[in-house]
Amino acid sequence: MRTAGGRVLDIHSDSDHHRTVFTLVGPRAQIPDVLSALTRRVLERCDIRNHVGVHPRTGLVDIVPLVPLGRTTMSECIDAAAEVGRCLAKRFDLPVLLYGAASRRPATRTPAAIRREGVAGLTRWLAKEGPDFGPRTLHPRGGVALVGARTLLVAYNVLLDSSDLRLAQSIAAAVRETGGGLKGVQALG
């Protein structure tokens, strides 16, 4: 599927997580407009207050990672992330936090760190520290957008033959890097 100035490579929806992941590629100059068009549609059709999925989230436009492909550099992705963040904040009055290589502060380096205390913690944090762009309060329908720059990420779900949540959480804690597990692995149970 083609969009103005780019191409949709994949759309993946998952009812358990209650989220849809769009994978887009396109020229750097058109990224802000393409992502703004997508954000506009999401904000028109959805409301974060009605979300009921198992995956932690900050808002409707939860994660916008810009990934260097081909000859594109990480530095270019960092610049693009800041431009996209400014654009989304200005056009939609949406608070935006930069993460990954685009992060300007240690507390927003990873999405997991930002989501750690849920919406209540994020609300307090925004009021105290402020977003990178936009208002210091959650967007009523959209929450907060996380825009960042990072390398490629391979994500997958592992289904356990058990309904024991504590078992899933202990396995996740053992394999993720922050728990002393494998380098680069992020895991959630």
Total residues belonging to the chain = 189
- CA distances to 79, 92, 115, 152, 168 from 99, in Å: 12, 19, 12, 14, 27
The residues, any chain, with a CB within 8 Å of residue 65's CB and separated by 6 or more, are 100, 148, 149, 150, 153
Residue 55 is among the residues annotated as catalytic for this protein:
yes
Paired tokens of 162:
């058990």
The residues, any chain, with a CB within 8 Å of residue 154's CB and separated by 6 or more, are none
Q: Which amino acid is at 127?
A: A
Q: Give bridge partners of residue 99 from the DSSP assignment.
A: 148
Query: Which of 87, 29, 88, 80 is closest to 59 using CA atoms?
Result: 88
Q: Which amino acid is at 74?
A: M
Catalytic residue among 17, 18, 51, 55: 55
Using the structure block, give the residue that is written with the tokens 């693009």.
Answer: 80
Q: Which amino acid is at 30?
A: Q
- Tell me the catalytic residues: 55
